[in-house]
Amino acid sequence: MSDVRQTVYVVEDDEAVRDSLELLLKSAQHPVKSYSTANAFLDDYSDAMAGCMVLDIRMPGMDGMELQKRLNDRNSLLPIIFVTGHGDVPMAVEAMKEGAVDFIQKPYHEEALLEKIAAALATDREQRESLSQKQDIIRRINTLTPRETEIMDRMIAGQANKVIAIELDISQRTVEIHRSRVMHKMGTHSLAHLVRMVLSVKDLIDGK
């Protein structure tokens, strides 16, 4: 995931503020793309976007919190930093409950904003690496035959080979062969590791 290009997406209706943020981010060697409205960003949005967002909480039309909700509905991974006025702090706290990683009040210190952006980009990298690992586990699970999947589920439930053989009305040797194939396809020699792998993707599998 290290070769993914991370971009800072600025959504700010004030042109002067937007231009200032672009200049600051480019001076810090961050790729940046800016939008004057939430709708413009939403029209451009794709799951392939990596990086983070610097999002004004108050804008004409769709505001920052509504955009956050729309992105949550799309299961966006982009960390959001909200830019707020003094009276918007309760809104920003609410936005963080909805998944925003941070907020910063106007007027802000440039170094403070850059520190928050660096932390958000690190969060983005970690989330995408975790997702990549989960997708790899799911790909391995999908290589299992129906019988292997059934036996894997029983292994994870803690059933011994003898019990599995009796309940499926097959020989214990057949169970051992399937078990060996499951461990090989899943790329592990440890039952404990297999359990952790499958549990880590349970939410993604159940959500299908």
Full residue range of the structural domain in which residue 65 is found: 7-128
Q: Are residues 116 and 170 in the same domain?
A: no
pTM, two decimals, is: 0.75
What pLDDT is attached to residue 46?
93
Q: Are residues 147 and 122 in the same domain?
A: no
d(CA 184, CA 180): 6
Examine the pLDDT at 2 and tell me if it is beyond 60: no
Q: Domain boundary at 75, 99, 128, which? A: 128
Q: Are residues 75 and 149 in the same domain?
A: no
37 inside domain: yes
- pLDDT tens-digit series, residues 95-126: 888 889 999 988 889 999 999 999 999 999 99
pLDDT tier at 87, thresholds 50, 70, 90:
confident
C-alpha distances in Å from residue 162, one per residue of 149, 156, 189? 17, 15, 20
Examine the pLDDT at 57 and tell me if it is beyond 60: yes
Q: Are residues 105 and 20 in the same domain?
A: yes
Examine the pLDDT at 60 and tell me if it is beyond 70: yes
Domain count across the chain:
2
Q: Are residues 56 and 92 in the same domain?
A: yes
Query: Which CATH number covers residue 161?
Result: 1.10.10.10
Q: Domain boundary at 97, 128, 159, which? A: 128
135 inside domain: no
